[in-house]
Amino acid sequence: QSALTQPASVSGSPGQSITISCTGTTSDVGSYNFVSWYQHHPGKPPQLMICEVSNRPSGVSNRFSGSKSGNTASLTISGLQAEDEADYYCSSYTSNSTMIFGGGTKVTVL
Amino acid sequence: QVQLVESGGGVVQPGGSLRLSCAASGFTFSDYGMHWVRQAPGKGLEWVAFIRYDGSNKYYTDSVKGRFTISRDNSKNTLFLQMNSLRAEDTAVYSCAKDRWSATTMPNDSFDSWGQGTLVTVSS
């Protein structure tokens, strides 16, 4: 099964909002609300930012929000800050009883 | 707090075997499903395997089925990954990760804790 499709890179200026898309199929993103987003700073373990499409775990800034439409999930970061510069990965449960990640998106704060 | 510490990585020849371990602490290990996730050099994250909290069900990504086996010892708070018939494309940092919710039976949860990972290099 191929990875979920994410843009390789997204950039924005401090204070701006950016959105990262995560496109799957009817066998994963389109059929389940088990979509999560992780922030990964190189050399550190990934951090869960969004679970179950749009739920924000305790301690995660409310500048991070998630949504889904059809086969595409999205992560929006509002009020972009320098510390948001990282790699971001989406994941989804699949109809094969497996989990699949997206290819990852590098967020650059200009 | 939750701690996950992997060990067992190293350099192995193609066709060889390795057994990874993940020592867990700071939570009731036997209550949570656990995963292995890997990241090849310069590549993204790839989910590898999941084991139910009680060890009764296991799930794998297609590329490792029949070669890798996930297991756990709840009495020792330890997760394992037995890797056989290793290939060059298995070269990666392997990390264990904990489900967010307890008593999950399928690999459909998110991960709220990850280890730092252990590097596996398959090369002749």
- pLDDT tens, position by position, B55-81: 999 999 999 999 999 999 999 999 999
Tell me if chain A has a CB within 8 Å of the CB of B46.
Answer: yes
Chain B from 74 to 93: CB within 8 A of any A CB: none
Tell me if chain B has a CB within 8 Å of the CB of A102.
Answer: yes
Statement: residue A97 has pLDDT above 80: yes
CB A87 within 8 A of CB A105: yes
Q: What is the mean pLDDT of residues B6-15?
A: 98
pLDDT in tens, B17-56: 999 999 999 999 999 999 999 999 999 999 999 999 999 9
* pLDDT value of position A37: 98
Statement: residue A2 has pLDDT above 90: no
* pLDDT value of position B30: 97
Give the pair of three-digit tokens for residue B60: 């794998």
* pLDDT value of position B108: 86
pLDDT in tens, A24-81: 999 999 999 999 999 999 889 999 999 999 999 999 999 999 999 999 999 999 999 9
Interface test with B, best of A95, A98, A105 (most B CBs within 10 A): A98
C-alpha torsion sign, points B92, A29, A94, A3: negative
d(CA A68, CA B60): 26
* pLDDT value of position A109: 97
* pLDDT value of position B106: 87
Length of chain B (residues): 124
Nearest to A34 by CA among A55, A19, A18: A55
* pLDDT value of position B64: 98
Under DSSP, the state recorded for A4 is: B
- Which residues of chain B lie closer than 8 angstroms to A34, CB-CB? 108-110
Residue A99 to residue B44, Cβ atoms within 8 A: no
Confidence class of residue B101 from pLDDT cuts 50, 70 and 90?
A: very high
Neighbours of A25 (CB within 10 A): 17
Residue B108 to residue A99, Cβ atoms within 8 A: yes
Statement: residue A1 has pLDDT above 80: no
* pLDDT value of position B7: 98
Confidence class of residue B4 from pLDDT cuts 50, 70 and 90?
A: very high
Tell me if chain A has a CB within 8 Å of the CB of B40.
Answer: no
* pLDDT value of position B13: 97
